[in-house]
Chains A and B, each alone.
Chain A
Amino acid sequence: MSETKYQAGDAVKVRAAFPPGHVRTPHFIRGCDGVVTQYVGSHPNPEELAYGRDGMPKKPLYRVKFNQADVWPNYEGPAKDTMVIDIYEHWLEKNQ
């Protein structure tokens, strides 16, 4: 899979899904809105690797930036503070 669905600057939402198994999308970020900052290559799917399978097909991985205040409504720091999380493509949806 060489085609990537998202590019830097794209507004995305993390899927608010809670499937069982080994998932590397942190719970706290599911359902949150962010912006893709970078595509960082395609990698074997950890949700498959964790169970001894080959992780194919590889999954595109992105760095996604979120505003702290959007993730934590009671965040006490400046509005400009952010977090950047690595998220696989199948955990992202296009926003708007």
Chain B
Amino acid sequence: MSHDDHDHSHGHDHSHDEPHPYQPDIEDAPFTERMVMAQAVAELIVEKGIVSTDEMRAQIEFMDTREPALGAKLVARTWLDPEFKARVLTDVKAASAELGIDIGDIPIQAIENTEDVHNVVVCTLCSCYPRMLIGLPPDWYKSRAYRSRTIKEPRKVLEDFGTTIPDNVEVRVHDSTADLRYVVLPARPAGTDDWNEERLTDLVTRDSMIGVSLAKSPETA
């Protein structure tokens, strides 16, 4: 339809000679006190020679190499190799090293979804997350809504992600409040018996390792 045909009842009352409003640039958002403080601390760290800008950039680039694909590789291997899974459940750092993945010094614990238990991870206090294994957390993981709702109405939050857990399965919420980080090992989807590691890896999503969803089914892969 032509531009003039549409219904103007939605407050679209500007003159047609004016341009539509622009999306604001990043700089147009208010600069908060904490942003100023973070910037000031970063500048002081460089100025005092504690960390150079090159070192800072190298660390950011290193963190950018951390992504869900690393965790997905780990999970797919646990589906194929029960002994490897046993090692993951007791020592994620050592098991990851077998795959050439260095998860650093913050301990990560793997928690396994079974027929009887579905696990989901939250950090009610802030945004603790197994970054070295699956990358930076999504914004929603840090939101107040996710942090407050997951601990007290986990099944409703899971429903919001399209995940329905039957009532005969325990939903277990893990609140990552201290020194450990948690990664969920989702269950291997049915109908993947003859799949190789590469194909299985594609079924393991970031959300399934947080526990808000299951691994992808073969039909949706």
Indicate which residue in A77, A85, A88 contacts B155 across the interface (CB closer than 8 Å): A77
Whether, in the assembled complex, B144 has its beta carbon less than 8 Å from a beta carbon of chain A, the answer is no
Task: Judge whether B170 and A87 touch: CB under 8 Å.
Answer: no
Give the chain A neighbours of B170 by CB distance below 8 A.
78, 80-82
Whether the pair B175, A83 counts as a contact (CB closer than 8 A) is yes
Tell whether A56 is near chain B: CB-to-CB under 8 Å.
Answer: no
Contacts of A26 in B (CB 8 A): 124-125, 151, 175, 177
A81 to chain B: which residues have CB within 8 Å? Answer: 154-155, 170-172
Residues on B with C-beta less than 8 A from A75 are: 152-153
Residues B171 and A77 in contact, CB atoms below 8 Å apart? yes
With A26-B125, A87-B178 already in contact, 16 other A-B pairs whose C-beta atoms are closer than 8 Å: A40-B109, A40-B180, A41-B107, A46-B178, A61-B178, A61-B179, A68-B152, A75-B152, A77-B155, A78-B168, A80-B170, A84-B172, A85-B174, A85-B175, A85-B177, A86-B179
Listed A/B pairs (13) with beta-carbon separation below 8 Å:
A28-B124, A28-B151, A41-B179, A61-B179, A68-B152, A68-B173, A71-B152, A76-B155, A77-B153, A77-B171, A78-B168, A81-B171, A86-B176
